[in-house]
Chain A
């Protein structure tokens, strides 16, 4: 697919790319540190459906990484593999350098998964008390309640909570062990704007304390607001990777195709051109399509078969962002 051609490789740590990240400690990342989690050439097949197709990435300390993609792209499968809940068909998944099934890693990991129902006849504080007992050094219950914004309703039965409160309850359970690595699978599903913003603030604070966060979302603004790095998953493949700002730049790219005799070198020098692919028709990738056309047309009187389109990547993003489930902000 065409999007492969413009895959971005994020190289250096990026600080302050989003204004929202002002609370972060900029010194927490060092390139040589052992990754908190590693995924290498992961493949997972369900019958005829390939949920993960050769996926590789690393998570480093203090990072907030967003797995962005439409439903069915493989986001949840990636998280479930890292949690040791499913076995991959090929490739490797490591948490803190060990198998995801090792107890040691589980003691340092918290997970917020998509849970349809949990026992409804237990109170919020009882659920938290129970989950805290699984860890040798849990966060104090009062702190868990306050981070998740549940202090006021600690005495309520789970069955009496609203949808957004239930999500916060699940977030609270993920925090009980004071984990170094936090998985959040569609964390703000069903939350109103206020609750969503509050959760984002808490996630940023956790990252500032050196925690690593991997979240999935099909909701572009969430990845943009939170993530230091975004991995775009589509049909089980990572089709793009970068900071939200870099990806936004990519989204505004256009593809120009035409039949022309202009030399490739010249084409590369035209406005905004980042990539040239020769063929029967030449394909140009540009961030400034109008300026490119103004420069291009006078250079070759014989130019024909001209076509300007949004990039395949943009199409991918449109598919991502036009999900009906994505609420407007």
Chain B
């Protein structure tokens, strides 16, 4: 040791560089998820397989005057974004919370924001990767189905749409036991996807289910994705507004649950 014990104790402590903390937290969250095969296979695998199946079955079919595979591209991009948010954040948090890992991090000087932002950014990165993969597959199946301009718009929608579902993931992560996480998440994820029109057009659902779908965040998310590809649908302002309202409500609920559990801890 170059420093003496006294110098160690009295040394003035400056704040660590925040960009470094946030950067490392994000980098390692991504590394952690990328190395977790259960996560990468399920969040990437399902949208890709479903898209391949349904898009190639209807490779040249049309819907609302456009290629059906374009409609499916928008839907499955949302499906992928929801999966990476719900599994990456929900299941991750459930494990880290119940095995004492989150507690150790909270006892450290890590800014709470770094932990949350890292999880959010990691979900966004996976959502973008899945969208790009689907766009490439769609192009292989049906030829040129999306322009660069549209792809850019779709990616923006996907990135923004991760936020409400990340909030939902956070809520589930605070409530679920880790061994119940995959099942619980699927119980939320799959009905939301189906009723939100991510797998097939909402118009094909029975009437009563269409009414249900009109209150779901997944419906407004997929409307935004369709809008970015030129489908005329619900106004983007309304859709973003609904998603923002869901985000605020979910985060408020998360804050309430976290503080309640902290008081009992």
CB-CB under 8 A from B109, the residues of chain A are 103, 106-107, 134-135, 177
B residues 1-54 near A (Cβ < 8 Å) are: 1, 5-6, 8-9, 11, 13-16, 20-21, 24-25, 28, 31-32, 35-36
B265 touches A133 (CB 8 A): no
B106 close to chain A: CB less than 8 A: yes
Per-residue CB proximity of A106-117 to B under 8 Å, as 1/0?
Answer: 111101011111
- Cα–Cα, bound, A121→B35 (Å): 6
Q: Does A210 contact B (CB under 8 A)?
A: yes
CB distance from B25 to the nearest CB of A (A): 7
Count residues of A near B (Cβ-Cβ below 8 Å). Answer: 43
- From DSSP, what is the main secondary structure of chain B's interface residues? helix
Q: Is the CB of B20 within 8 A of A133?
A: yes
Write the A193-217 contact mask toward B (1 if CB under 8 angstroms, else 0).
0000000000000000111000000
Pairwise interchain contact B20-A86, C-beta atoms closer than 8 A: no
Question: A133-B16, A134-B21, A173-B104 known; A209 and B1 CB under 8 Å?
Answer: yes
Check A115–B101 contact: CB distance below 8 A.
Answer: yes
- Name the residue on A nearest B114 (C-beta): A134
Contacting residue for A117 out of B16, B35, B99, B110, CB 8 A:
B99
Q: In the complex, which of the residues B14, B32, B264 contacts A122, with contact meaning CB atoms closer than 8 Å?
A: B32
B9 touches A180 (CB 8 A): yes
Q: Which residues of B contact A28 (CB under 8 A)?
A: 5
- Give B112 Cβ to nearest chain A Cβ, in Å: 11
B169 to chain A, nearest CB (A): 17
Known: A103-B109, A211-B5. 18 other contacts (CB 8 A): A80-B103, A83-B107, A85-B106, A86-B265, A106-B109, A109-B107, A111-B108, A114-B100, A118-B101, A121-B32, A122-B32, A133-B25, A134-B21, A137-B11, A137-B13, A170-B104, A209-B1, A210-B5
Interface of B with A (CB < 8 Å)? 1, 5-6, 8-9, 11, 13-16, 20-21, 24-25, 28, 31-32, 35-36, 95-96, 98-101, 103-104, 106-110, 262-265
